[in-house]
Amino acid sequence: MNYFNYNGKIYKEGSPVIGADSRGLRYGDGLFETMKMRQAKLICEDEHFSRLWKGLNVLQFDIPKHFTVERMKEEIYSLAKKNDQETAARIRLNIVRGNGGLYDVKSHVPAYIIQTWPLAESNEEWNSNGLVLGIYEAAKKSCDILSNLKHNNYLPYVLAALAAKKEKWNDAIILNTNGRICDTTIANIFCIKDNLVYTPSLNEGCVAGIMRKMLIKNLLRENREFIEKELTVVDLLTADEVFLTNSIYNIRWVQRIGDISYRNMVTQEIFTGLIQTIL
């Protein structure tokens, strides 16, 4: 039996805790963080909580004194221990505003749900087979003050993930409203051309990924040539290599997009350098 934490109390998996008046349910009024735990330690915890608190401010939550980073950490560790998952776990901390209509909010204090799931020891290993991606074009992501947050309005990603499953892709590439490359359903995207590393800038609407941030720091530390820019579909399809980053898998190389195949030599070097930095 797995357990979850709702506002500091532990419940059995499947227990109902959200009512029909929840603004999280009605409007997707909230945001979340997905983190990884290894050997009872949250990876990149400072960066995750910094992004979360920034999002809380953008969404105009009232943060009470008792709602602190340290308290959230303690409750995450406690839940992972109860679920016997401290060795390797995926953590999801979801924040919602609570009950009320669009104009009559009952409270701006964060309500939260913490969940944990076991992670395989192999999840950080190099994906030797490579990923197969497709480009999803039916719903595009806007570029605004919400774009870089991991907020609960996730419909373009939901629809793209459904398309990926139908088409038997490993992931789907999301475009922004300008038709340029944004990110994928669960990751930031990078490409390499003539040994230069490129990724969409945050102005292009991609999530401000924690592993994206860590990788960029590492690229600069290694003196690799790196550019954040507007990336077109043509840029991606004519690249030498393509890879994805997120907090759970670190780096995964892309073998194919449509009929285009990619190499992975430089990506493997970047992968090795990043793993040595974050572990």
User: Of 243, 223, 231, which Cα lies nearest the Cα of 204?
Assistant: 231
pLDDT band at residue 210 using 50, 70 and 90 as cut-offs: very high
pLDDT band at residue 1 using 50, 70 and 90 as cut-offs: confident
Question: Mean pLDDT in the chain?
Answer: 96
Residues 113 and 143 in one domain: no
Residues 227 and 149 in one domain: yes
- Inside any domain, residue 195: yes
* The pLDDT of residue 279 is above 70: no
- Inside any domain, residue 125: no
**Which pTM was predicted?**
0.95
Counting the structural domains of the chain, the total is: 2
Residue 278 has what pLDDT? 74
Residues 65 and 171 in one domain: no
Out of 52, 85, 119, a domain closes at 119
- Inside any domain, residue 72: yes
Residues 253 and 166 in one domain: yes
- Inside any domain, residue 94: yes
Residues 106 and 140 in one domain: no
The 10 Å Cβ neighbour count of residue 278 is: 17
Residues 83 and 155 in one domain: no
Residues 141 and 95 in one domain: no
- Inside any domain, residue 47: yes
Q: What is the CATH number of the domain that holds 263?
A: 3.20.10.10
User: Of 147, 145, 33, 149, which Cα lies nearest the Cα of 91?
Assistant: 33
pLDDT tens-digit readout, 9-67: 999 999 999 999 999 999 999 999 999 999 999 999 999 999 999 999 999 999 999 99
Q: CA 70 to CA 86: how far, in whole Å?
A: 17
Residues 220 and 256 in one domain: yes
Out of 98, 119, 140, a domain closes at 119
pLDDT tens-digit readout, 71-116: 999 999 999 999 999 999 999 999 999 999 999 999 999 999 999 9
The beta strands (E) that lie in the chain are given as 3-6, 9-12, 30-38, 41-42, 88-96, 111-118, 131-141, 171-176, 181-184, 188-193, 196-200, 226-229, 241-246, 250-257, 260-261
Residues 210 and 240 in one domain: yes
Please give the average per-residue pLDDT across 132-153, as a whole number: 96
- Inside any domain, residue 15: yes
